[in-house]
Amino acid sequence: MIAIRNAREDDVPALVEIGVRAWEQAVVGVADLQVRRDYARNAFQQFLGRHWLRVSVAEADGRPAGWASREALDDEISDLWIDPPQQNKGLGSALLAAMEAEIVAAGFEAARLQTHARNTAAVGFFQKHGYSVNWLSIDYSERLDRDVESVGLRRQFVADEPVGYGPGAF
């Protein structure tokens, strides 16, 4: 059974490990895992240690199996990580729905997010849930000493108002 709840401070160590395992799966073949693993673990530890109050947790059988966040509490989903053994069981869809509900409740008309452009599993997941690619960016990363491709995705919740002139435009 899937349950979505707010994170607790004592969840942080488990959420860090979930984030690292999911990150490793997402970057296989894209980054040097051995070199970047400690960096990723530290980044998750720093983020979750400071922002656990902004995190939603997906539980499977009463244990954390994934988490998501809106770091700036705006229309952007900054994180969505599912433990690899728990993927394809509906946890990501449940977390995404929870994040989208928060975004709509905060008065936003769309949700946006970004991921690595080569993370085809993530891009496909979000497209399956109604997201469209909004932009592609290639920026040099000093930390990785290489260009990094990112893709931005967006899902509109409220229909855009028609723009134009003439009969039926208003």
Give every CB contact of residue 160 below 8 A, 6+ residues apart in sequence: none
Task: Assess whether pLDDT exceeds 90 at residue 29.
Answer: no
The tens digit of pLDDT for each residue in 116-155 reads 998 999 999 999 999 999 999 998 877 566 788 999 999 9
Predicted pLDDT at 165: 67
- Point out which residues pair with 34 in neighbouring strands: none
Sketch out the chain's domains with CATH numbers.
2-156 (3.40.630.30)
Distance from C-alpha of 113 to C-alpha of 139, rounded to nearest angstrom: 17
Predicted pLDDT at 162: 63
The tens digit of pLDDT for each residue in 2-15 reads 999 999 999 999 99
Buried b (16+ CB within 10 A) or exposed e, 21-34: bbbeebbeebbeee
The tens digit of pLDDT for each residue in 96-126 reads 999 999 999 999 999 999 999 989 999 999 9
pTM of whole model > 0.85? yes
**33 vs 11, residue with greater confidence:** 11
CA atoms within 13 A on the CB side of 84: 11
Predicted pLDDT at 122: 96
